[in-house]
Amino acid sequence: MKGESGVRLGIAQHHSGMTLSPGHNAVITLTVEDLHEAKDEMIKKGVVCIGEIQEVPGHVRLQLVRDLDGNHLQLVQMLGVPK
């Protein structure tokens, strides 16, 4: 995982806490070095954040966003990965 970066497509199973219905829950994830910095840059470009930053302690930080065309994207910062 060292130096991991790039883009991924995530497809999740539906569960009771999800607001998206099955068939609408595929999300492209963009791995970033600093989630707070990337979030601020995206907001400056008109992207809307959906909810707050979520964190799986010691593993990953996540922020779901909606771009200007209405597409959902997820910004991801890997935690505990040596730089």
Confidence of residue 80 (pLDDT cuts 50, 70, 90): confident
pLDDT reported for residue 29? 86
- In 1-83 the beta strands, taken as DSSP E runs, fall at 6-11, 26-31, 48-56, 60-66, 72-78
Query: In sequence order, what are the residues at sequence separation of 6 or more whose Cβ sits closer than 8 angstroms to the Cβ of residue 13?
Result: none
pTM across the whole model:
0.70
Domain 6-78: CATH superfamily, name plus number: 2,3-Dihydroxybiphenyl 1,2-Dioxygenase, domain 1 (3.10.180.10)
What is the CA 79 to chain-centroid distance, rounded? Answer: 14
Residue 83 has pLDDT above 50, yes or no: yes
Q: pLDDT for 17-60, tens place per residue? A: 666 665 566 678 889 999 999 999 999 999 999 999 999 999 99
pLDDT reported for residue 9? 57
The full set of domain ranges for the chain reads: 6-78
Residue 15 has pLDDT above 70, yes or no: no
